[in-house]
Every structure is written in structure tokens, then in C-alpha cells.
Amino acid sequence: MADHDTNAHKYRLKVTAGPVYDRNTHQVVPVNGETIRIENEHAIVSLCVRIQDYAGYPEKSPSTSPYFEHELHKKDLYSICFSIIFKEPVNGNNLFFGNDFENPIRDILPPGFNSALKLVKWTLDPGLDGDVYADQPYLYSPALATWDIFRIGDKMSKEDKVPTLHDEVIEEGAYSDEAAEIRRQHNIPDTVEGRRKHFQNEGNRKEFEFEPGRMYVADFGNPYLSFSDFSIRLPGFTLHAMKYVEEKNHELRYTLKDTSTGQVYLAVLFSVVLEELEDKRDKSDDSKSRESEGSLGKFEWEPQPSADDVE
């Protein structure tokens, strides 16, 4: 679709998200704007996406966010931040986060890609694993070991409000003494580096269970993927991705899923779209994006009491 770099200006970024892969379930994400609520029978998610130097859709999206002025994120180029309340127990060893693709990408992988992948695994994410040469390629990492920030919250009731995240910079830790006690019980270190290293151990992941009804918040982003010029920037290696974009491969999808069951909880889709065609759809899509206007409503759901809860 794009044979050379001069075509890049004809394409713009669009971000959508939903509880499954099916695009018909997705909402347009107001990048650098409001939090959106995503819900199905498996989970309730609040999602906020921030991108530095953003020039994509919706048309009136801010180009940046105060998030990137925070000391923790001055070098970051994007952020996928979300809270999630599972409606079913999920073992920590089964929950993975990463990229997957609907179509093969092996024929468009650039020279040096394997070297870049090894560099990422060695320096940034030891838990990264997958198969980029498969018919349905994927690169996943254990969620607990790859998220840049992980914060544990409290059990939610039906009357509690679903949180908005766009005005908050999430930091590692817990929201209450009760939640902090969960971290202590599982010997989860207080620092990001300590927590990630702790959960690189499979045994530690198996001992941790995401409880139904409890809120967990994660943030993921880095200074290596630039959506302003569609490039991957690693130490000593820069890949301009636009020239490898083809009609069947113009999307980057981040997925949160249980790999033991295949259950998807969140799919965030970054699509490179043809500008002149997308302009005609932008007003319609923008009207469908569910900006919260300050509120995402109440949970209106809570887990059934277990035998342990009944005296």
C-alpha cells in the first residue's frame, strides 16, 4: 500500500478499542482526551490512550497530554492506561499482554528485525515470547511482568463509580491499606523494577490471582514506538515502518488475554488509515465515540458471594 516514505503523509492514525477482536464492538478512542468505558460479560474496563505529537483521528484530538510533562513520562511517546475489573477469576500466569496480528507479516519483516527483537528481549522485556513468522503472528509477555505500572485497588460495589483515568498519572502501588496488604501477602516489591522481576518468575505468577470485582490499574508505554512518524526507535536501530505497510497489514493491535482459554479482555487497535477516505467517515465516527463528559457511570455489577464470604 505504501511503497516509499513520500506516501506517509497520505496516511493518519486512528485508534479504536473493544472487549474482543471484532471491530464492530470497538469504539473510537479520543486520543489525549477522555476515558472510555468498555464492558462485556467478562470484564469492565476504563481505557485512556495518550500519544505524543498526535495528528490522527478524531480530527480535533489534542496533539499531546499533560501526562508527558510528568517526571515519570517525559521520555515516553505513548501510553495505554486502563483499569480492569474482572467478572471471573484469572490466574496471573495466564494473563498476557502484547501484540497479535490477523494476517502473516513474515514477508514484510524488514532486514534486522530478528536482531531488534533479541535486543528488546534482552534489554527491555525478558518475558517477551511469540512467533512473528506464524500465519497469525503474536508477541506476548506475562502482563504482570511487562506493564510499566501496576496498581491494586479495592473491591467494587454496584454503586461505585467506574473510574476515569485521563486526568490521573498512575503510579506503582496500591489505592488502600487493604490493597497494599495484598501486595505484601504476595511479596510484590514496591518498585516497578522489583515487581517486574518478581513476576518474571512463573511460580510467583501462578500464586497471584486477579479477583472478580477488584479493580486493577495498569499503564503501558515507552520511548521506542513513535506514532508521529511511524517509526521504532531502539538503541542503535531505527525502523521506519510506513514503507512496510500493506493493505492487509496496516494495524498494530495490543491485546490483553488469558492464553490458557483464549479469552480476550481488551483489544486496542492502532490503524494506519488513508486520509482522504477517512475524512469522509470522521464526523460519523467521532459522534459514535463515547466520551465520558466526566462520568462513566456506576459499576452496576458485583460478584456473587462465595462460600468464604458467608459465615
Quick one: pLDDT at residue 6?
A: 41
Whether omega for the bond prior to residue 235 falls within 30 degrees of 0, making it cis, is no
Q: Say whether 141 sits in a helix, a strand or coil.
A: strand
Residue 198 one-letter amino acid: H
- In a domain, residue 308? The reply is no
Residues paired with 154 in a beta bridge: none
- In a domain, residue 307? The reply is no
- In a domain, residue 34? The reply is yes
Task: Return the closest-CA partner of residue 51 out of 23, 30, 28.
Answer: 30
pLDDT along the chain (311 residues), means of 10: 47 94 95 96 97 93 96 96 98 97 85 81 90 93 98 94 94 97 98 97 98 97 88 74 67 95 97 70 51 74 71 49
- In a domain, residue 302? The reply is no
Q: Which residues contact 284 (CB under 8 A, 6 or more apart)?
A: none
- In a domain, residue 304? The reply is no
Q: Which residues contact 139 (CB under 8 A, 6 or more apart)?
A: 98, 99, 100, 117, 128, 129, 130, 132
- In a domain, residue 309? The reply is no
Alpha helices in the chain (DSSP H): 113-123, 143-146, 177-185, 192-198, 202-207, 275-288
Q: d(Cα 10, Cα 287) in Å, to the nearest integer?
A: 24
Quick one: pLDDT at residue 57?
A: 94
Quick one: pLDDT at residue 123?
A: 82
- In a domain, residue 165? The reply is yes
277 HSE (CA, 13 A, CB side): 6
Range of 124's domain? 5-295
32 neighbors 287 (Cβ within 8 angstroms)? no
192 neighbors 172 (Cβ within 8 angstroms)? yes
Instruction: State how many domains the chain has.
Output: 1
pTM of the model: 0.90
- In a domain, residue 181? The reply is yes
Quick one: pLDDT at residue 238?
A: 74
